[in-house]
């Protein structure tokens, strides 16, 4: 898609539509790779406990797998599972030839060491792109599995012709899950990148100079219209559940969508923006690993 002159209100960056397009391409690719006697790609999502939000996320991932032709090998352990028990499950999945991708659903119960468990995943099956080896490949600009949410952001920008080359980008948030890997990806796309965070003085002044703003901090509607340069590209990674005055709740991002959409050139909605792309990149990572393991080479 070629970039267009922005009009008011901002043009929507439709992650839901692009995710459907990615799933279609992946499904076609899986059919091309598979032949008589060739197994389908496999993804194992490891969940510990009965967190309702996590259960919904896992179910959504399994449904998405079915649409692409990926076999699900989901495993749920009780909240009382020990570090050794979860590690043993991951080790079994590492050795299971039917499994190409492994994801540990976060958050984990507080008694478990999530970092150690992620590091125990075979890097070649690291569907979430969070293993230190894969993060190191990203840092070095080498091919490999990429963190799903940052990769989804980059795919969404590329779909709309919004390349980073020569642009100034501000990433608000410095997590290992989103902020840091996304900053590296934007640098790789030749953007000039600033990473802002809770200790950044005058956050509004930093954001106002950006051509690309990515909010990934987990604070509802933190970024408002007066903080955004007219015509800027605004990507909202945040997803926060807030209580409504009239009762009930709603999902909102880290960006005040209503006000910022009147100023920005392009903006992602919440929901329907980055969220679907995260799942699409999880599937893409799994199929990429599948192709590598079968000797089919890179899929793109």
Same fold: 37-123 with 148-275: yes
In this prediction, residue 37 carries a pLDDT of 85
- pLDDT tens digits, one per residue of 28-58: 999 888 878 889 999 999 999 998 888 888 9
Binding site for NADP(+): what residues are annotated?
173-175, 239
In this prediction, residue 102 carries a pLDDT of 98
pLDDT at 298 over 80: no
pLDDT at 299 over 80: no
Domain 148-275 belongs to what topology?
Answer: Rossmann fold (3.40.50)
**What residue ranges in 30-80 does DSSP mark as E strands?**
42-48, 71-72, 75-77
pLDDT at 300 over 80: no
61 part of the active site: yes
**CB burial readout 228-262, b (16+ within 10 A) else e:** bbeebbbbbbbbbeeeeeeeeeeebbbbbbebbbe
292 part of the active site: no
Is 124 in contact with 101 (CB distance < 8 Å)?
no
Each domain of the chain, given as residue ranges in start order, spans 37-123, 148-275
d(CA 90, CA 76): 12
Give the pLDDT band (50/70/90) at residue 272: very high
d(CA 138, CA 147): 9
Q: Choose among 297, 300, 278: nearest CA to 103.
A: 278
The two structure tokens encoding residue 42: 């496999």
pLDDT at 2 over 60: no
Give the pLDDT band (50/70/90) at residue 74: confident
- pLDDT tens digits, one per residue of 201-242: 999 999 999 999 999 999 999 999 999 999 999 999 999 999
Domain 37-123 classification at class level: alpha beta
Pick the catalytic residue: 11, 14, 61, 100? 61
202 part of the active site: no
Give this prediction's pTM: 0.93
**What residue ranges in 78-167 does DSSP mark as E strands?**
101-104
Binding site: what residues are annotated?
173-175, 239
User: In terms of pLDDT, which residue wins out, 293 or 48?
Assistant: 48
């Amino acid at each position: 898609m070629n970039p267009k002159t922005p009009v008011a209100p901002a043009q929507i960056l439709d992650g839901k539509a692009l995710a459907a397009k990615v799933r279609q391409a992946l499904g076609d690719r899986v059919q091309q790779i598979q032949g008589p006697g060739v197994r389908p790609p496999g993804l194992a999502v490891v969940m510990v406990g009965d967190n309702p939000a996590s259960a919904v996320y896992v179910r959504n991932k399994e449904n998405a797998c079915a649409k692409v032709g990926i076999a699900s090998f989901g495993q749920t352990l009780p909240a009382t599972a020990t570090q050794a028990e979860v590690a043993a499950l991951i080790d079994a999945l590492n050795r299971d030839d039917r499994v190409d991708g492994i994801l540990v659903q976060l958050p984990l119960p507080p008694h478990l060491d999530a970092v150690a468990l992620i590091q125990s995943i075979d890097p070649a099956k690291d569907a979430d792109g969070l293993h230190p080896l894969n993060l190191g490949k990203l840092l070095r600009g080498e091919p490999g599995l990429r963190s799903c949410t940052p990769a989804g952001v980059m795919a969404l920008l590329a779909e709309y012709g919004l390349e980073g080359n020569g642009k100034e980008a501000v990433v608000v948030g410095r997590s290992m899950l989103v902020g840091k890997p996304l900053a590296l990806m934007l640098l790789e796309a030749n953007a000039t990148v600033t990473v802002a965070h809770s200790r950044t003085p005058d956050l509004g002044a930093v954001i106002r100079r950006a051509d690309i703003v990515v909010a990934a901090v987990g604070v509802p509607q933190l970024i408002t219209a007066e903080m955004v340069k007219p015509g800027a590209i605004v990507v909202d990674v945040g997803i926060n559940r807030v209580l409504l005055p009239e009762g009930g709740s709603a999902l909102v991002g880290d960006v005040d969508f209503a006000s910022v959409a009147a100023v920005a050139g392009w903006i992602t909605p919440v929901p329907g923006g980055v969220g679907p792309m995260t799942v699409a990149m999880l599937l893409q990572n799994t199929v990429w690993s599948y192709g590598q393991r079968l000797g089919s080479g890179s899929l793109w």
